[in-house]
Amino acid sequence: METRPKAERRLSLSVAQRERPGRLLEGVKMKGKQKQSIFEPLAPLEEEYFSDSTKTRRLPFRASRAKIKYANTYRLESYNKFRDYLVRDKAQAILTNKLQQDKYDAVSSPSLCASISEEILTATKEMGFDRYKYVVSVLIVEKAGQAIHVASRWVWDVQRDSWVSAKYETETFIALALVMACYYE
């Protein structure tokens, strides 16, 4: 068997094969018992090849298909842990500001609950606790001499997950805000 340097062992390509970028070349190289097909890489396309209308049509399509890959950090704790006392104070301030002069109204209470919960959620997210997902629930109940029990059930990580409640009471209603912070790896 003839021994030549690696550079000389490559199959020789004809001019016609070199002009077809990205196509399977006819030559097949044998290494041991496995066949290895040889591909020639695609040649980069010139900017002048595409018209302006083609460029604008293709760019958004490529950007939408791009997938971002993140490297593993192997970090289990967050840099900025959830501090319940900050969230409790903020939720209490939002309840006080929104409900200070209001009276109970059964028609407007659901939309008021939704707006207060959105405001508490955005305020909590702005605090910048990393690696947490939040659930905010606001209840407004009319005072009519009745008792109320609120219960929640969660799959909970005691070391990392936390919750906060804030209450505001007037002559006609009671408002209760619950914020659950679930650690997300």
Which residues neighbour 57 within 8 Å (Cβ) at sequence distance 6 or greater? none
The per-residue pLDDT string of the chain (185 residues; one tens digit each, 9 = 90 and over) reads: 556 555 555 555 555 555 555 444 444 455 555 555 555 555 555 555 555 555 555 555 555 677 888 888 787 888 899 999 999 999 999 999 999 988 999 999 999 999 999 999 999 999 999 899 999 999 999 999 888 888 888 888 899 999 999 999 999 999 999 999 999 87
Show the beta-strand stretches assigned E in the chain: 24-31, 34-39, 132-142, 162-169, 173-183
In three-state secondary structure terms, 2 is: coil
Give backbone dihedrals phi and psi of 178, rounded to 5 degrees, phi first. Answer: -115, 130
Q: How far apart are CA 23 and CA 44, in angstroms?
A: 14
Q: What is the 3-state secondary structure (H, E, C) of 106-148?
A: CCCHHHHHHHHHHHHHHHHHHCCCCCEEEEEEEEEEECCCCCC
Name the DSSP class of 160.
T
What pLDDT was estimated at residue 104? Answer: 92
pTM of the model: 0.60
- Residue among 47, 40, 46 nearest 20 (CA): 40
